[in-house]
Amino acid sequence: MSGNPMDLSGATVLVTGASSGIGRETAILLSSLNARVVLTARNRERLEQTLSSLQGQGHRIEPFDLGCLDEIPKWVRSVAAEAGSLSGLVHAAGVQLTSPIRFVAPAAMEELLRTNLLSAMMLMRGFSQKDCHAAESSAVFCSSVMGLNGAASMSVYGASKAALIGLSKSLAVEFAPYRIRVNCVAPACVQTEMLEQMREVFSPEQFEALKRAHPLGFGTARDVANAIAFLIAGTGRWITGSTLVVDGGYSAQ
């Protein structure tokens, strides 16, 4: 056995949102820790790009639309049947919405909650099925500091991310008898496509103020991936129901 508690040899980890950003970087890091990684998102071409960056062998692509909520448990079972029981689940898929609530249509609210929250519920329903998870396994949701701190124009997004934190706490207790750990990471702004979308919405002055709100500056996807890997690996074996804040000091002020 390796003396490195973060070694993931023999582990298979399903990563959602693996076509870009935090999901892609997490998949790359997990592969470097010797995990077999199952990549999922809607865009096969972008998943292929992620796959080409992975180290090791045994990785696979499983394109899927997590908006098809009813199909998720059956899909997870099919993935586990092909790839083997899953030691880890990283739910990095998500969408961001920056808008005053008075301008947000109910349909947009429903779509965001479906992607950010309801898919997590259904993924855990699937992950917890017999033969779908390993004897010791771990799930990590990608929440946000917006689930902990308030900010103007972030109410709908923040609500979905706060709900993930509440969900993880209850599932941690529910699944502890099955040795399934459930945790969250809560990043602030990291240099991904989402941040570029915010740059387009904000004025230059607003964007500069956002940057100043991070004492250590904007983070990177690897910063968040490091935290996720810590929770997935043996380093997190006694951690469940927790939220690891990875925010460059944003919430310390």
Beta-carbon-side half-sphere exposure of residue 196 (alpha carbons within 13 Å): 5
Cβ pair 119, 66 in contact under 8 A: yes
Question: Two tokens at 112?
Answer: 């965001």
> How sure is the predictor about 1, in pLDDT bands with cuts at 50, 70 and 90?
very low
> How sure is the predictor about 2, in pLDDT bands with cuts at 50, 70 and 90?
low
CA distances 189 to 60, 142, 177, 221, Å, are: 29, 13, 35, 10
Of 121, 116, 119, 107, the closest CA to residue 160 belongs to 116
pLDDT tens-digit profile of 111-150?
A: 999 999 999 999 999 999 999 999 999 999 999 999 999 8
Question: Two tokens at 173?
Answer: 């207790």
Average pLDDT, the chain: 95
Q: For residues 1 and 38, what is the distance between their CA atoms, to the nearest angstrom?
A: 23
178 part of the active site: no
pTM of the model: 0.94
Active-site hit among 157, 175, 230, 250: 157
| CA 16 from centre of chain | 7
Question: Two tokens at 105?
Answer: 């249509």
pLDDT tens-digit profile of 19-38?
A: 999 999 999 999 999 999 99
